[in-house]
Homo-oligomer: A and B are copies of this chain.
């Protein structure tokens, strides 16, 4: 909300400044009126694009872009997060072990810890929870 007020304030301010410049240019005759209008047009075009991108970017953030901050907040270790990603790819414990050059026992330990930390009962639920938190 504060940012919106600030940006719109700056927008109005720049508009007034352009008014003054144009008036001065008109009186002094240094600048041609076409040039002033062209500059105004370009500047406001860019402002429009920029503001729009900002607002749309905020809308899009919820979808996509993994939030690694939350991984730390959940106390998930590097290995655990790595295993979590493999789980979401649909691999079995055995397959994950082979892929990461670890024993199945190790993967089971990691999986158990993941389920505890994500508060999930099953690996499928862990996937769902992780995706909801934008960790995957």
Q: Main SS of chain A's interface residues?
A: helix
Q: How far is the CA of A87 from the CA of B19 in the complex (A)?
A: 62
Among A32-40, A66-74, A75-83, A98-106, the stretch that binds chain B is A32-40
Judge whether B19 and A23 touch: CB under 8 Å.
no
Chain A, 7-25, CB within 8 A of any chain B CB: 15, 18-19, 22-23
Task: Answer whether residue A117 sits at the interface, using C-beta atoms and an 8 A cutoff.
Answer: no
Q: Look across to chain B and name the residue whose beta carbon is closest to the beta carbon of A51.
A: B49
A sample of 5 cross-chain residue pairs with beta-carbon separation below 8 angstroms, ordered by A number, consists of: A22-B34, A44-B45, A45-B45, A89-B125, A124-B124
Task: Answer whether residue A2 sits at the interface, using C-beta atoms and an 8 A cutoff.
Answer: no
Q: How far is the CA of A54 from the CA of B101 in the complex (A)?
A: 47
The interface of chain A, by Cβ under 8 A from chain B, is 15, 18-19, 22-23, 26, 33-34, 36-38, 40-53, 56, 60, 63-64, 87-92, 120-129
Q: How far is the CA of A15 from the CA of B39 in the complex (A)?
A: 11
Q: Which of B49, B53, B122 contacts A90 (CB 8 A)?
A: B122
Q: How far is the CA of A28 from the CA of B26 in the complex (A)?
A: 15
Report chain B residues within 8 Å CB of A127. 90, 124, 127
Q: Which of B38, B49, B92, B125 contacts A48 (CB 8 A)?
A: B49
Report chain B residues within 8 Å CB of A33. 22-23, 26, 33
